[in-house]
Amino acid sequence: MAKEDDDAWRAIVDNYGDRPEIDEPAAALPETDSSEFVVDPQVEDDRTWDEPDTDWDTDRFVPPPPPPLPSTTLDRQAAWAGVLGSPVVLLACLLLRIDVPELLAYALVGAFVGGFVYLVVKMTREPRDPDDDGAVL
């Protein structure tokens, strides 16, 4: 049974896929002289780097001005200041070994938690564009 299986597999492998008919052997590529591609360091270009390319200047693309940066409300700015600023202040005080009063430490932790909760509550529930699949061109 094993010989029959081996013969069946060998027949499958030998006849797998279409085989192209090749009439002629492949022609060898002509050999090129690689010295013609070597840059001679003694040869200098007649242009300098300071010279502008005249073709570039005539067809120069000028992009439109960028849109203004988005602005946010004062309450969101305060929430972001609490989320980002409180840990920075506490970490700086810890690294510099500055003794922070207990009430100030609790206020900084409260500003972090409160700012985070405020930003999560104010998040929009729907996507900005319902037809947006992530690809924007």
Q: What is the 3-state secondary structure (H, E, C) of 6-67?
A: HHHHHHHHHCCCCCCCCCCCCCCCCCCCHHHHCCCCCCCCCCCCCCCCHHHHHCCCCCCCCC
Asked if 86 and 112 count as a contact pair (C-beta separation under 8 A), the reply is: yes
20 found inside a domain: no
136 found inside a domain: no
15 found inside a domain: no
Residue 75 has pLDDT above 70, yes or no: yes
Q: What is the pLDDT of residue 92?
A: 96
Residue 24 has pLDDT above 80, yes or no: no
38 found inside a domain: no
Token pair 């929430």 in the structure block, residue: 79
- Per-residue pLDDT band at 3 (split at 50, 70, 90): confident
d(CA 15, CA 8): 11
d(CA 111, CA 19): 73
Neighbouring C-beta atoms of residue 38, cutoff 10 Å: 8
Counting other chains too, the contacts that 89-97 makes at CB distance below 8 Å and 24 or more residues apart are none
* Residue 124 amino acid letter: T
In the structure encoding, which two tokens stand for residue 33, read together? 């002289």
94 found inside a domain: yes
Q: What is the pLDDT of residue 55?
A: 53
What is the per-residue pLDDT across 77-127, written as a single tens digit (0 to 9) for each? 999 999 999 999 999 999 999 999 999 999 999 999 999 999 999 998 877
More confident residue, 81 or 41: 81
Number of domains in the chain: 1
Please give the residue range of the domain that contains residue 98.
74-121
pTM exceeds 0.75 for this model: no
